[in-house]
Structure 1
């Protein structure tokens, strides 16, 4: 399993101008794209041969499968979706790796794609399918305690309460997922309070209150779906750490979570009065797509924008209609103003770099690395190359945001017959280069020999994390192994150990399958610890290490 992927109140005149601009934009987007004829009353949409449309999509769109199955019957267009984080997907498009593999992309927004020239030039026509703002869902008891239930609240109030420690929240990593990216843009723009899109100077102006805001973030993940699962585990006690008060996510995802029955307590949705950033889910052709695929995309979009399909989308996913004149689902709140989105790529890069290196809580990660005899040769070379990519060498990962971050604590725990001595590296916020150099030296020193003590080594990693004095960090364990454990504890003993930790801080393990690693056991390790398994047996180990960064 590879888990899968944005104004503060100004003067009244500024508000009116911004709202007029948004309205004008929406009208322009919908020009010539009003509700399509009802496909159930006509067979014209199904004209043409059956086509499979290959789509790179955001993970939250898995809930569209029933509607896409209905669309296939009406249009003869079958959609095959592969899921990725929105930001990761943008990098895939920009690199050209989507060309010839996919016919279309379908993420919550194309805004980030549009800031990357190499990605924008690879896009063709697009149709907005639905909309959903990114908002804050708070446990109802917490919303009532803060006096926010049914009361307009600003992002500044939310940031102030977060800095004071009056509530905690979960949010995806904005470098990998659009929901986190949208939230970061929204709160930063609102705190700047100018009515204009963020620029690099604005990022510096709001760094203080943003740092306070992110002090309350207790959970992170690389995708909206992964974050929701982690939040539910905390709320239900499946993870023994403290419950988290809130979840920042798409409105539709939060309403659906309330409806699902997965939570012991419902969430109250907070719509910041100074604005939000919304996803508009454009189904977008790739310029490299064939003529048949482009025709299929248009047929599918015509169906999805029909009045009956728009209503069905609202009923099933609680997202708002993208077509003018249609009502949104009844249980959704009043939509605040849409905040301006930065169009300058340098402003986006400045914001994301500041988030990683200054604004968010730093992370502490133990890399538990199999260096048994079976890793000798190309496998060990592959591991070294993947780890070196995180230090910023020429074997760079798909995006600069995969690198080890300022203030981050990286712990290397190689193992074979037994865990080797641990090596700890903390990246200095002023000059991280010496730490990168030391890390590269340690990686180069890895040697393969001996047997495989997976579970003893995982216990050693947990012991180190439990003994750490500084607890104000995101913590995780990355396990990379190419074989079954044949020394020390077995899987059952490791799971018993996890249970014995009691109320100590939960730590997710992210096992990476490599070589002949036991898939069933690694899935068990991931499930027991609240992590997720990643498969690098047929893929690129560097890419997998990079993807896991969204969870650290």
Structure 2
């Protein structure tokens, strides 16, 4: 197979892998937990003034959430350089949209994502950057359990291609997790890399290549059993399932650094075998990028910080603490990570957008979602309007770079299950593969027409959602990404208690249904402790709409469906 026209990448991106106990302890506290930092959180320099020009000695950075594990490095950098970094976190596509919309001007001085490749496809975004410096690197790879690797004949040193992985997935020999390409750069990079390698043209992927390679992509993604909105949460969920004895999920497509960090964390019975596909991959190079709107004083602080981060000592710290490859050759050390072939990245935004759309609408398994929605009187006013605005986004009302992939997807089955003091009748909608404005309009209209009533029987409604799913042909459960979304803004005062839902309803469900995640939304006066426990019980996640908008929470949930 032609190796995509890529080049052997063996110098700055090959480094020693520090696996000491100190690194493992720090990893457990930062890399696997810190990456779950929410959008809008500010660290490590505390609250920053996000209005007006920046100030010398400070750098306000819009960053990918995975970079939360660099906070200890940045805290030490502030002591060494006098430059305090204020990090706010967002997804890559959301960050690109903020740059295109001018929302970063006078709010941030720099952006720091896993890659600027998608950003650079837009001329307006390119001109918004004054300087960019790659600080570290991590290629996308596949981690496979030792048993699965042995069964597939993928031992150390074995050349494995993306085609080999696709064949194993299609044969039912490999089930894996991968993050959403619309929410996480690791999933985005993986999708681009797999498509480019399977197209095997020797040049950058073109829009015309996507339909031709679609059958092979369907084979590859037939093995995807878990999706997520972040590479960190994906690793957390893989570790949780491994600890619970779930042997069904045997692989994880993620950054090499996340896989190495997971191995070093001690949370797995046996370390993952890391497969770096021989036909190439896409590498994150983490460019710290100064915005053109930054003041000259801030630009000088940026350069001081960059020089510090690229010093051999700090590069070694980054390698040891995050397992990302150093860009400074002096930090490589004696041992090295294998070199990788870098696949060419598409040169047109429309190619990437078409690939992402095809992934959701045509290629991967469809989503199956039950929305359990509070229609109690406490939702009156701004709260019900916030729900309607969120549903406007999900039904295609936002055509921005980030919003266009947060809509309901082709082939997705959506159930609306409203409740007040009683559970109301469920309404099902199934979208076609092609654009389906009539169904989207119907979903939007139903939420717009919700009438509010007395009482809050949220846990009865969740039990009904499980009943609906159980009544379906669960033989198809493995053929969809099934989830429940629960929104309630007040105290549950009617019907089942949380304890009854947990101990009587959930505990008695068939195994397949017990694993259906419930994504809970903290809103209004809802019980945060119970919502969090319900999400954790089911392998879901809690999203906070109390400090941010409900629209933002529903958008974020889409990365997990």
Counterparts in 2 of 1:340 and 1:329: CA distance versus 1, 3 Å: farther
State the partner residue of 2:354. Answer: 350
Structure 2 counterparts to residues 233-252 of structure 1, below 5 A: 233-237=240-244, 243-252=248-257
Q: Identify if the C-alpha distance between structure 1 residues 156 and 398 changes in structure 2 by more than 3 Å, giving closer, same or farther.
A: closer
CA distance in 1, matches of 2:399, 2:161: 44
CA distance in 2, matches of 1:362, 1:119: 32
User: Are residues 1:510 and 2:510 paired?
Assistant: no
Moved over 3 A (4+): 22-26, 393-398
- The residue number in structure 2 matching 1:374 is 378
Cα–Cα, structure 1 residues 498 and 292, in superposed 2: closer, same or farther, change >3 Å? farther
Structure 1: gaps of 5 or more residues:
1-7, 27-48
Does the aligned pair in 2 maintain the 1:397–1:543 contact within 8 Å?
no
Q: For the residues of structure 1 that align with 2:390 and 2:402, how far apart are their CA atoms?
A: 11
How much does 1:168 deviate? 0.7
How far does residue 431 in structure 1 lie from its aligned partner after superposition?
Answer: 5.3
Pairing of 1:421-436 with structure 2 (within 5 A) = 421-430=425-434, 432-436=436-440
Structure 2 Cα separation of the partners of residues 439 and 502 of structure 1? 30
What is the root-mean-square deviation in Å for CA atoms of aligned residues? Answer: 2.2
Would the aligned equivalents of 1:452 and 1:484 in 2 still touch at CA under 8 Å?
yes
1:366 touches 1:476 (CA, 8 Å); kept in 2? yes
Residue 99 and residue 509 in structure 1: after superposition, are their counterparts in 2 closer, same or farther (change >3 A)? farther
Contact map agreement 2:313 2:331 (CA 8 A) in 1: no
Instruction: Specify which of 480, 490, 495 is matched with residue 502 of structure 2.
Output: 495
Query: Can you list the C-alpha shifts for 1:482-515, whole angstroms capped at 9, x where unaligned?
Result: 1111111122222213333252331212112222
| Whole-angstrom distance in 1 between the partners of 2:282 and 2:212 | 20
423-432 vs 137-146, which deviates more?
423-432
Describe the shift of the 1:273–1:24 C-alpha distance in structure 2 as closer, same or farther (beyond 3 A). Answer: closer
The answer on whether the counterparts of 1:129 and 1:281 sit within 8 Å (CA) in structure 2 is yes
Question: C-alpha separation between the residues in 2 aligned to 1:80 and 1:51?
Answer: 11
Q: Give the secondary-structure state (helix, strand or coil) at the position aligned to 1:447.
A: coil
Residues matched between the structures, number:
514
Residue number among 104, 107, 116 corresponding to 1:110 in the alignment: 116
Structure 2 residue ranges without an equivalent (≥5): 14-54
**What are the equivalent positions in structure 2 for 1:69-148 lying under 5 Å apart?**
69-148=75-154
Worse-superposed segment, 50-59 or 291-300: 50-59
Give the Å deviation of 1:468: 2.1
TM-score relative to the length of structure 1: 0.88
**Contact kept? 1:320, 1:328, Cα under 8 Å:** no
Instruction: Give, in whole Å, the separation in 1 of the partners of 2:302 and 2:544.
Output: 31
Per the alignment, residue 39 of structure 1 pairs with none
Note closer, same or farther for the CA distance 1:155–1:528 as it changes in structure 2 (3 Å cut).
same
Q: Deviations over 1:85-105 (max 9, x none)?
A: 222322232222233322211
Report the CA distance between 1:325 and its aligned residue.
Answer: 5.3
Q: State which of 65, 69, 76 in structure 2 corresponds to 1:59.
A: 65
Measure the CA separation in 1 of the matches of 2:398 and 2:195. 33
Q: Work out whether residues 10 and 339 of structure 2, in 8 Å CA contact, stay in contact via their aligned partners in 1.
A: no
Q: C-alpha separation between the residues in 1 aligned to 2:249 and 2:277?
A: 20
Match of residue 34 from structure 2: none
- 1:175 aligns with one of 154, 178, 182: 182
1:419 pairs with 418, 423, 427, which one?
423
Report the TM-score, using the length of structure 2 for normalisation: 0.87
